[in-house]
Amino acid sequence: MDEESIYKASEIIKRGGLVAFPTETVYGLGADAFNPIAVARVFEVKRRPYFDPLIVHIGDQSEINKLFKAIPYNVKRLIECFWPGPLTIVLFKKDNVPDIVTSGLQTVAVRMPRHEMALKLIKLSGTPIVGPSANSFGYLSPTTAEHVREQLGDQIDFILNGGPCEVGVESTIISFVEEKPKLLRPGGIPLEEIESILGKVEIDVNNHKNPSAPGMLPKHYAPRTPILLEWSEKSIRKYRDKKIGLLAFKDPGPLGSISPIEVLSKSGDLREAAANLFTAIRRLDQLGLDLILAEPLPEVGLGRAIMDRLRRASHKGAIN
């Protein structure tokens, strides 16, 4: 691990600067969560609307006491099982958590990432760090330092390079603000695993009129090239006169020889597919295509998070 870079990054955070940092899910755009001016710069650089609150990252479980008002037993159990890891918890916030972090909500989203560099950065900075994905608002999340550099490189103070992200899709968000726990965003921890601890969890990922996670807009995580979730020889023939690219889940067989293609996991492994998702879409997005046809994946385990991102990327919004 590059100790010197982490130290440098923590000094920048302390001074109110912006540092992109690796996590197990995607790269985050970090700033001191208790410095409202630094946080305002995060919104500016991302061109993110101020109504879309940020996730606060902590380096040690005990730090939740600085952020949450009270912690129900259910939440304690989840934290024990899944932190550090790709699980974000939404609960009522303490008064000293700046309003700009939570977009004026009385609740705050918190997670402890499973990444040595991120944890060290937070600890050395001596403060929790906000971390939206380090991309321009609405575009694909970055899973390498290079992705961050391409989009935000000249607008931020430092990029901590931790190589490619292991999980590749963002954290699962669960809210405990109402009586029953609610899934706000499917992500790196499969819903099945969470339900094995909590029992049935309500799903609230498509409530577009009054989204509980304001960032879950129907059109999100989108490349410039339109994506359609269509996958057959017939579809490919239908778009014959266009420049199309293919995003396959698994070994595509004969379909693979027709157009530029990215295969997420030859063997059909959902974890491998999640880890490759955003990089594969980016590569297709750089080819100047008219259209990307994507193969639907089974909606189990990480497949749920991948399909959620593909639906949003396809501009149609999530259905499920």
**Considering the complex, what minimum distance in angstroms separates the CB of residue 122 from ligand TXA?**
11
Range in contact with Mg ion (rule: CB under 5 A) among 91-99, 118-126, 131-139, 187-195 = 131-139
Tell me how long the chain is: 320
Q: Which residue lies nearer to Mg ion by CB, 197 or 217? A: 217
How far is CA 223 from each of CA 23, 50, 155, 171, 256, rounded to the nearest angstrom? 22, 22, 21, 20, 21
Helices vs strands, H then E, count in the chain:
11, 14
**What b/e readout covers 84-94, taking b as 16+ CB neighbours within 10 angstroms?**
bbbbbbbbbbe
Separation of alpha carbons 299 and 142, rounded Å: 23
Site string for ligand TXA, 92-111 (x = CB under 6 A): ----------x--x-xxx--
Q: How far is the CB of 130 from ligand TXA (least distance, A)?
A: 8
Q: Provide the phi-psi class of 124: left if phi over 0, else alpha when psi is between -120 and 50, else beta.
A: alpha
Q: Are 190 and 174 in contact (CB under 8 A)?
A: no
CA angle 165, 27, 30 (to 5 degrees): 145
Where in 19-38 is the site for ligand TXA (CB under 6 A)? 23, 25-26, 28
Which position among 132, 142, 186, 252 is part of the footprint of ligand TXA (CB under 6 A)?
A: 132
- Taking the CA atoms of 56, 57, 58 and 62 in sequence, report the sign of the dihedral they define: positive
Please report, in angstroms and rounded to a whole number, the separation of the first and last CA atoms in the chain.
40
Question: Cβ 109 to ligand TXA, closest distance in Å?
Answer: 3
Q: Is residue 133 close enough to count as binding Mg ion by CB under 5 A?
A: yes
By beta-carbon proximity to Mg ion, the closer residue of 127 and 133 is 133
Question: What's the CA gap between 115 and 124, in Å, rounded?
Answer: 14
Residue in 179, 286, 268, 162 with CA at minimum distance from that of residue 223 = 286
**Contact status: 143 vs Mg ion (CB under 5 A):** no
Using CA atoms, how far residue 283 sits from 50, 73, 117, 168, in Å, is 30, 44, 27, 15
Choose from ligand TXA, Mg ion, none: what does 186 bind? Cβ within 5-8 Å by kind: none
Q: How many residues bind Mg ion (CB under 5 A)?
A: 1
For residue 105, the partner it binds in Mg ion, ligand TXA, none, with Cβ less than 5 to 8 A by kind, is ligand TXA
Asked whether position 144 contacts ligand TXA by CB under 6 A, the answer is no
Give the contact letters, 162-201, x = binds to ligand TXA (CB under 6 A), - = no.
--------xx-x----------x-----------------
Please report how the helices 191-198 and 73-82 are oriented relative to each other, as an axis angle in degrees rounded to 10. 140
Residue whose CB is less far from ligand TXA, 107 or 276: 107
Q: At closest approach, how far in Å is the CB of 273 from ligand TXA?
A: 17
Site for ligand TXA in 251-310 (CB under 6 A): none
Binding partner of residue 151 among ligand TXA, Mg ion, none, CB cut-off 5 to 8 Å per kind: none
Give, in order, the Cα–Cα distances in Å from 55 to each of 33, 42, 64, 136.
9, 12, 13, 16
Stretch that binds Mg ion, among 86-94, 128-136, 179-187, 246-254 (CB under 5 A): 128-136
Q: How far apart are CA 284 and CA 22, in angstroms?
A: 23
- Binding mask 46-65 toward ligand TXA (x if CB under 6 A, else -) reads ------xxxx----------
Q: Where along the sequence are the contacts to ligand TXA (CB under 6 A)?
A: 23, 25-26, 28, 52-55, 86, 88, 90, 102, 105, 107-109, 113, 131-133, 170-171, 173, 184, 212-216
Q: Where along the sequence are the contacts to Mg ion (CB under 5 A)?
A: 133
